[in-house]
Amino acid sequence: MIHNRLLIFCFVCTLSFCFAVNHASASFFGSPDNLKEAGEELALDLSKPGALVNKRIGIIEFKTQGPTQDSMLGKRIAESVSVGLVSIKGRSWDVVERMEIARIRNEMEEHKNSRFDFSEWMRSELQADLLVLGNYVIAGDDISITTKVVNSESGSTVASASITLSVNNEIKQLSKTRKPRSKFAGTVEDITAILTGNGRGGSHQGKNSSAVKLYKVAGGNRIPFKRSDVPVFNVGDKMGFSVIPSINSKLYIFNYDPGAEKGEAILLYPIPGLKVESFPAKKTRRFPSFVSRGVTSYDVDPPLGRMVFKIIGVDNTINLDLTDSLKVQDGYYWLNSNNLSSFMDDLSSLPDISWWSEDVEFWIQ
């Protein structure tokens, strides 16, 4: 009898434990921890009604509902939803690449179109059947994001979703960061290979993605940032970064200031007169030591604010040198508003699987 009672007691305890674990999972692990997870969850919710099937989708930058001005946060939320939609297995829809949007938008800037309707442009120029748009509001320690899918022709809403998550360091930093000041910087920001599995830093790691890691240099030692850290440097610090290409690649490494009034980006590698080398896949290369033997770091100098390294890798079997369209000045190649269209045309001519891109952003204070 005692044995049977003991078995019943253990069984009841087991059921109670399972219920508690399930309840804890829902309450403690149900909310996303970061923008990447939030984008994935929103994308999944938007896809459930079946409204996206066999459609071509354009994602518009999210807007703030609060008293603050629009910042980089709205752009990053849109990117996260884009990556989430692309990452859903077995999807039957296409997502308009940021690269394609940037290229056509740049062409329109060149023609100085005075009449501009974004929805009409997305529908006619990019043949987008549906538009994903949304807004966000930060209240206390939480951020609420609401999004909907709109038919670009009729304007009717075909799906919607919302989510709330805690404000982390990334969200705080992005909410205080102004969007690129010049049209040039905004366009360069969108030169990315989102649909080939490559994305921003370590947050979009697919099987074909490259790894780029930023670190401080102090006392001859490399000090990496933790995954949850926002890379922030003080003026006078020293820094470097490492690159592990996903495929055998020719590398092009740009540095630019999104907040600068003058739109231009300097090519840190390669430099004029230096042979463009092939970087083997899955092998680490560190900069600047690879370019300048014995030099282990870059000096961190003003201006203050957000800065970006943009790394573009091109399959080394492709007979194309991206420096052909760049300007040479002061011993470096430069990308600016005058040669941006030619540079983007060269990239657009490549098959999706033959190039990748990674952005490494950091802040100087």
Place of tokens 């005075």: 114
User: Residue 208 has what pLDDT?
Assistant: 47
312 with 251: CB under 8 angstroms? Answer: yes
Q: Tokens for 102, please give them.
A: 């940037």
DSSP 146-199: EEEEEETTT--EEEEEEEEEE--HHHHHHHTSPPPSSHHHHHHHT---GGGT--
Sequence spans of domains, the chain: 35-175, 195-364
Task: Check pLDDT > 90 for residue 114.
Answer: no
Residues 327-354 have pLDDT tens digits of 999 999 999 989 998 998 898 888 888 8
User: Residue 6 has what pLDDT?
Assistant: 46
Angle (CA) 119 122 128, round 5°: 115
Residues 42-90 have pLDDT tens digits of 999 999 888 899 999 988 889 998 666 778 999 899 989 998 998 898 8
Task: Check pLDDT > 80 for residue 38.
Answer: yes
pTM for this one?
A: 0.75
Average pLDDT, the chain: 82
- CA dist 135 to 86, 273, 284, Å? 20, 48, 39
Greatest mean pLDDT among 109-113, 124-128, 199-203, 288-292 lies in 288-292
Task: Check pLDDT > 80 for residue 115.
Answer: no
User: Residue 118 has what pLDDT?
Assistant: 59
Instruction: Give first-to-last CA distance, the chain, whole Å.
Output: 73
CATH of 35-175, one of 3.40.630.30, 3.40.50.10610, 3.30.300.30, 3.40.228.10: 3.40.50.10610
SS3 for 354? helix
